[in-house]
Structure 1
Amino acid sequence: MSGFLKMLGRNKKVSFGLFIVITYLLIALSAPLLTSHEPNKRVARPHQAPNAENVMGTTRMGRDVYHLFIHGTATSLAVGFGAGLIIVVIGTALGVSAGYFGGKYDEVVSLLTNVALVVPQLPLLLVLAAFIGEASPMTIAIIIGFTSWAWGARVTRSQTLTLRNKEFIQASELACEPSWRIIFVEILPNLSSIIGLNFLGSIIYTIITEATLEFLGLGDPLAVSWGTMLFNAQNASAMTVGAWWEVLVPCVAIAILGMGLALLNFGIDEIANPRLRTFSGIKRFNKRVKQLKAASLNTPNNAKQSTNGVIYDN
């Protein structure tokens, strides 16, 4: 475990992505301390450009964009992490159990997974959100969580089938260990990287999908999130009147968080995947060889270097 954490620290993608995600989490958790009033309170003139008093400008209703951004961060992260947790729990439970037990249970789960994968996600979410009407952010998170588990279940099932025939699993079965212990102690730890990647990918997907639904007017207009900020900016024709800051702030917030989660996802994939890890090791080896060649070229002509690295004169 300590070796894995050291590898995480050495990976630049993981370090930078983790820095971005932790920064957003601190902003979300410290929202009451970073703001001085309610986000929907009118505090200045409409469409006021960024200045010393309102660092991110104001909306058409005279609301401070900075306060909307801070509280919107907390809402969007809560939706992303909540739906991501639902997706991971459902997908992992169905995938691992189907891959381990097999038989009729595997056939039923595979059928449900195939049906869920065939149904287009965005049109389904649009229909459900329109049917509910002005869905709150938490309702959107629940809808996304219970409709987006299929991909994770499929990947987890395939990996469980691979582990099912390993020697340590067969040894546990011969020792008459209960199925729940084999799943939780033997199988799930070997799926930790896949589960983590599924969780990070689900967070990215959920935040973007929530912003899309709210931008289309299918969310609660009184809620404060990045999606409702874009929705209100569209209704106010912010770009037409030159209030670019209303659109720029939520768009940049979504883009930076998505970049941080993607870097974290790619970095963990490089560490967990032996092929990618080997490739990165080869790159470091080639870089070291180039450094040694450059050092040998800079060695004086009256000195020679032996194979063990000792330099001696002629």
Structure 2
Amino acid sequence: MAVVPTTTAATPVATPAKRRRLRFVANPKATAGLVIMGFFVLLAVVGPWIAPFDPSERTSDLLQPPSAAHWFGTTHLGQDIFSQVVVGTRSVVFVGFVAGVLATVLSIMVGVTSGYLSGAGSEGLSALSNVFLVIPALPLIIIITSSLPETTVLTIALVIGLTSWAWGARVLRAQTLSLRNRDYVEAARATGERTWRIIVFEILPNLTAVIASGFVGTVIFAVTSLITLAFIGVSAGNDWNWGTILYWAQSQQALAQGAWWWFVPAGLAIALLGTALSLLNFGIDEFVSPRLRGGGRTSVKTADGRTVRMRVGFTPVLSTPVQPTPVLGEEAKP
């Protein structure tokens, strides 16, 4: 009887890069952060078009609580608070991402360059990072924005980005110092690769997680700085943001008047955005660190094929028992 060979469909095997991406997306913290952050980005894009009212328009509905006509209530001038929150999302997201990108680029240029190179140039860049690191960022931002003749949202984003890169540069410099003498870097240097190619193709890919975490942290700092500037009155002209809403609510004593709807929506939006960014940061940390990803535990396979769960940091005895070495002149016990 002839045997007819059968062919089976080959199961596609995910590449390591694809497996890493799937592992990051499967992380519940990262997924929740991405969903919330995507909602705010979408709101920043379409917010001015879906807002039911002009945020600066005055009406006769003075200091009204939330209703079907005004979902978040109105201010002392009859302005719709829901429209202010929706329109103000664009300024918050814009400043956060522009400042984050600018600070991240500067931290990469200064930190990685000073960590890979040696000599006076490296020491000079390190000293520059130390100078910006000891300068209090928020007071410097307040002084710069207050002294400018015209303060726009882009100006605030650039000032925050130019003054908040030093910490990221120090972290990247420390990581680069530990990578520049690795075997693959030495091999690339021995083959005659140029310095910029070694930095871009050998070192930067191993710093991706650190760069992403620093970017998220800078975005959080930029958002809080913008809201702080607006809350103390250093805002960008007539551009609405969540800090501007809180500024007017505080100046008109909304809490004393019982107008909780004036400041609660903006406060919840700030808390929700900060939570989304923090979840993204936690997701990146767990994606990079196996210790965090496994909840402090890892699986180790023993010599007889058993799988043992162990806490990271402890060295268990997993080998088979060792027979005692016989003493010279004695018979070895079975």
TM-score between the two structures when normalised by the length of structure 2: 0.81
Answer yes or no: is the 8 Å Cα contact 1:44–1:64 preserved in 2.
no
Q: Which runs of 4+ in 1 moved over 6 A?
A: none
Answer yes or no: is the 8 Å Cα contact 2:53–2:80 preserved in 1.
no
Aligned to 1:142: 158
C-alpha distance 59-221 of structure 1, shift in aligned 2 (>3 A): farther
- CA drift of 1:278 comes to 4.2
* 1:97 lines up with 2:123 in the alignment: no
Answer yes or no: is the 8 Å Cα contact 2:291–2:297 preserved in 1.
no
1:239-298 deviation per Cα after TM superposition (whole angstroms, max 9, x unaligned): 121111111111110111001100110111011123323445549xxxx999xxxxxxxx
Larger radius of gyration: 2
- CA drift of 1:138 comes to 1.9
Q: Distance in 2 between matches of 1:255 and 1:112?
A: 34
Aligned to 1:132: 148
Aligned to 1:16: 32
Within-5 A mapping of 1:84-123: 84-123=100-139
- Paired letter, 1:265: N
Answer yes or no: is the 8 Å Cα contact 2:115–2:177 preserved in 1.
yes
Higher RCO structure, 1 or 2 (CA under 8 Å, sep 6+): 1
% identity of equivalent residues: 40
* 1:6 lines up with 2:22 in the alignment: yes
> More deviation in 269-278 or 44-53?
269-278
C-alpha distance 34-280 of structure 1, shift in aligned 2 (>3 A): farther
Q: Distance in 1 between matches of 2:233 and 2:49?
A: 30
> Greater share of helix residues, 1 or 2?
1
CA RMSD of superposed structures (Å): 2.0
Gaps of 5+ in 2: 1-16, 300-306, 310-334
Aligned to 1:52: 68
- Paired letter, 1:276: L
- CA drift of 1:12 comes to 1.3
* 1:229 lines up with 2:228 in the alignment: no
Aligned to 2:176: 160
1:172-215 deviation per Cα after TM superposition (whole angstroms, max 9, x unaligned): 11111111111111111111100000110111111011101110
Aligned to 1:212: 228
Q: Which of 276, 285, 303 is matched with 1:269 structurally?
A: 285
C-alpha distance 102-32 of structure 1, shift in aligned 2 (>3 A): same
Aligned to 1:81: 97
TM-score between the two structures when normalised by the length of structure 1: 0.86
* 1:193 lines up with 2:209 in the alignment: yes
C-alpha distance 289-243 of structure 1, shift in aligned 2 (>3 A): farther
Gaps of 5+ in 1: 291-314
Within-5 A mapping of 1:278-289: 278-282=294-298
Q: Which of 247, 271, 283 is matched with 1:255 structurally?
A: 271
- Paired letter, 1:225: N
